[in-house]
Amino acid sequence: MSGGVDSSVSAALLLEQSYSVIGVTMKTYEFDDVGGNIANETSCCGLGAVNDARAVAAELGIPHYVVDFRSAFERAVIKNFVDEYLEGRTPNPCINCNREIKWGELLRKADALGADFIATGHYARLHRDAASGRYILSRGRYAQKDQSYALWSLPQEALARTLFPLGGLSKPEVRERAARLGLRTAAKQESFEICFVPDNRYDRFLRERVAGLETRLAGGEVVLEGQVVGSHAGYPFYTIGQRRGIGAYGRRMYVTGIDRSLNRITIGADKDLYHSALRATRVNWSGLPPTKSAIRVEAKVRYKDDATAATVTPTDDHEVVVRFDKPKRAITPGQSVVWYSGDMLLGGGVIESTLD
């Protein structure tokens, strides 16, 4: 229970379905350790969120616990976030958090509490396929809030013990149910930034976490069409497709490449951001067993991306090449590529590089 309306209604729906429910709120970091919003703890880990979750649990008549996952979160999510930027990549911390914390650590806590399942407020659907015995993730019915993209890395063992009560509902329906139940979170607004970067300034976060980073890396080369045309603040402060902070060139320019070893960024026109293929590693086959054959899919390269026609060709059990029928814009190393068949999530992986 994050203290938001989605997890509040999830708990209420499970009670209606005669489950015995325990509310759990995860403490994953301290605000004075991450900065950016110390006096206004509005995210899912702030004191206000914990109090909202506790109050809703009391309204529903269920036990409520706050569990301390700070050490695991620092190791599995925050450290990885920083390390990836220092490698010249753009991480998606929600993927790691889901796999390692919201499912990994929380399932261990569920065992300690004697709970059979964990349930979350994610907008996704899950069913067990009778023929294969696999647990199949599908997009949530409410397309605007579908969160299946961020769940691609969950193993079958975790899915077997998961419930998604909101998978068939829309956000307005969830709010309406919360209001009908008189829950205090019914009108609570959502937070869209990375939870541990509450001001949405990842550059500020990196500067504060890595001593001397800007001093060490400022002045790197900006390269356009093979020529050095300027300098930048340091490669970790840029991501593929970025316009801000690269200088003015009389026309719109974007970051098209990052070279960590040389502390260099390459810029180009919008057309230079398009690529037809990518290589992905750390692959998890979700909706079907690992395959050695090429398969036709619809794939997306970021949460807000539209899934488009592509071919996924495995190179081994944990690596694939994804080739799109039409080039994709701003394919970014460190982000996730996720592939579907219709609404069914087939698998995903972490983008390593583009291919042409």
Confidence of residue 261 (pLDDT cuts 50, 70, 90): very high
Q: What's the CATH code, domain 5-121+165-181?
A: 3.40.50.620
Average pLDDT value for residue range 64-69? 96
How confident is the model at residue 48, as a pLDDT?
80
Q: Which of 8-17, 130-139, 244-253 has the lowest mean pLDDT?
A: 244-253
Separation in Å, CA 315 to CA 282, 291, 292? 12, 10, 8
How confident is the model at residue 44, as a pLDDT?
57
Confidence of residue 33 (pLDDT cuts 50, 70, 90): low
Query: Which fold, 217-268?
Result: SH3 type barrels. (2.30.30)
How confident is the model at residue 83, as a pLDDT?
97
Beta bridge partners of 223: 228, 266
Q: Which CATH class is domain 274-355?
A: mainly beta
Whether 274-355 and 5-121+165-181 are alike in CATH topology: the answer is no
- Cα separation of 253 and 75, whole Å? 36
pLDDT in tens, 129-186: 999 999 999 999 999 999 999 999 999 999 999 999 999 999 999 999 999 999 999 9
Does 94 participate in catalysis according to the annotation? no
Average pLDDT value for residue range 18-43? 75
Average pLDDT value for residue range 236-247? 93
How confident is the model at residue 242, as a pLDDT?
95
How confident is the model at residue 46, as a pLDDT?
65
- In the block, tokens 């801000």 appear at 244
- Cα separation of 2 and 122, whole Å? 11
- Cα separation of 201 and 146, whole Å? 25
Separation in Å, CA 203 to CA 34, 224, 235? 12, 23, 11
Q: What is the pTM of this model?
A: 0.93
How confident is the model at residue 38, as a pLDDT?
52
Residue 218 has phi, psi (to 5 degrees) of -60, 145
Specify whether the CB–CB gap between 163 and 115 falls below 8 A.
no
Domain boundaries, the chain: 5-121+165-181, 217-268, 274-355
Does 97 participate in catalysis according to the annotation? yes
pLDDT in tens, 85-122: 999 999 999 999 999 999 999 999 999 999 999 999 99
Q: Pick from 184, 166, 167, 140: which is nearest to 10 by CA?
A: 166
How confident is the model at residue 34, as a pLDDT?
64
Asked if residue 211 has pLDDT above 90, the reply is yes
Specify whether the CB–CB gap between 310 and 248 falls below 8 A.
no
- Cα separation of 7 and 15, whole Å? 13
